[in-house]
Structure formats: structure tokens, C-alpha cells
């Protein structure tokens, strides 16, 4: 907790104590007491959120550094190991990995320099959102590498559309709209 968090929490606790010990307490409304309790809960929620995020970062960040190393190694193996992968796809993946890896290095360094009592600037969920495009590109390249341009779900959708077009004289609902 930061000094301001501690002061805020103690202030709310003192406010509750004074309220409970005052002459007004027996006639106080439940809403007044409820508001004081909610204010106190907000301070604790902020603390617990920072704590939980910090614990997640301790687990995820080291694995993320390993992930980027592994991706860079995989990109090199794509470049030298398989000629049926278009170079532009490999370069696109490489650029995306470099971009997000640099972003992660910068943000994690800034995060490491922040005191634990401050709200994080790099959330684990943000990191996962940033990595998602890399995962999509990797799946596309893996499909090309294995000779499968389309996934099974994409093939079944294509087959359904083709059979629907054949059965309707080449018309689909999408075409008619």
C-alpha cells in the first residue's frame, strides 16, 4: 500500500469508528453506514487488484521472454527449413515479433521501476492481447508449412457455401442481400 492508500484506509476506518461511537449511530441510516463500508472496500479492492496483478506478472513475464526467444528461433527455422512458406509471411511475422518484443521489453522495464504501491502500467491481459496477432500469423504459417492452407473449420464452411451455391443455382443469401 502507498502512503496515500494507508492514509485513505485509516481515514475511512476512523470515520467509521467515530460514526459508530457517536450519538448519531443509534439513529443512523443503513445507507450512511453502507457508504462508509463501500468506501473502505474500494481502497481494499485497489490494493488487492495491484497485488493480484503483481503475482501474475511474476509468473508470466519470465515465460514471455522465453516465448519471444522461441519465436525468433522458429522464424529462423521457417526461413531456412521450408521453401513453400512465402517470404513475405515470414517477414511479416518477424516484424510483428520484433515490434511486440521491443514493446514488452520497454513496458516491463518501466513496470519494474514502479513501486509496488502504484497501479501497474503493464497488465498481463494487455500482454496477451498484444501477442494474439503473433499467434494468428504463426498458425497461418504452420498451416502453409504443413501444406494445409485452410483449417478444417474453414474447409467445412467453404464446402457448405459451395453446396448451398450449387443447390440454389449459384445464389447464396449473402449474394442476394
pLDDT tens, position by position, 137-152: 988 888 887 775 544 4
Q: Chain-wide mean pLDDT for the chain? A: 77
Q: CA separation (Å) from 166 to 21, 144, 153, 159, 170?
A: 81, 29, 20, 10, 5
CA distance 116 to 52: 11
Q: CA separation (Å) from 131 to 68, 100, 103, 110, 142?
A: 10, 7, 11, 19, 17
Q: What is the pTM of this model?
A: 0.61
The answer to whether 144 and 96 are in contact (CB under 8 A) is no
pLDDT tens, position by position, 39-94: 778 878 878 888 888 899 889 999 999 999 999 998 888 788 766 788 898 899 99
Q: Tell whether the model's pLDDT for residue 2 goes beyond 70.
A: no
CA distance 170 to 159: 13
pLDDT the model gives residue 163: 44
Q: Which residues contact 16 (CB under 8 A, 6 or more apart)?
A: 33, 36, 37, 40
CA distance 107 to 122: 6
Q: Tell whether the model's pLDDT for residue 102 goes beyond 90.
A: yes
Q: Tell whether the model's pLDDT for residue 8 goes beyond 90.
A: no
DSSP 8-state class, residue 169: T
Amino acid at each position: 500500500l502507498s502512503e496515500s492508500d494507508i492514509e485513505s484506509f485509516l481515514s475511512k476506518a476512523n470515520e467509521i469508528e467515530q460514526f459508530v461511537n457517536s450519538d448519531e449511530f443509534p439513529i443512523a441510516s443503513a445507507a450512511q453506514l453502507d457508504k462508509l463500508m463501500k468506501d473502505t472496500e474500494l481502497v481494499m479492492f485497489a490494493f488487492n487488484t495491484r497485488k493480484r496483478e503483481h503475482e501474475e506478472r511474476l509468473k508470466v513475464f519470465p515465460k514471455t521472454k522465453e516465448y519471444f526467444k522461441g519465436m525468433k528461433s522458429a522464424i529462423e527455422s521457417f526461413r531456412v527449413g521450408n521453401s513453400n512458406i512465402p517470404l513475405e509471411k515470414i517477414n511479416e511475422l518477424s516484424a510483428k515479433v520484433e515490434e511486440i518484443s521491443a514493446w514488452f521489453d520497454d513496458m516491463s522495464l518501466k513496470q519494474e521501476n514502479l513501486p509496488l504501491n502504484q497501479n501497474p502500467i503493464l497488465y498481463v491481459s494487455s500482454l496477451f492481447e498484444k501477442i494474439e496477432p503473433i499467434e494468428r500469423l504463426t498458425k497461418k504459417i504452420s498451416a502453409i508449412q504443413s501444406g494445409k492452407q485452410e483449417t478444417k473449420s474453414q474447409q467445412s464452411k467453404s464446402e457448405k457455401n459451395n453446396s448451398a451455391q450449387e443447390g440454389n443455382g449459384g445464389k447464396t443469401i449473402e449474394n442476394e442481400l
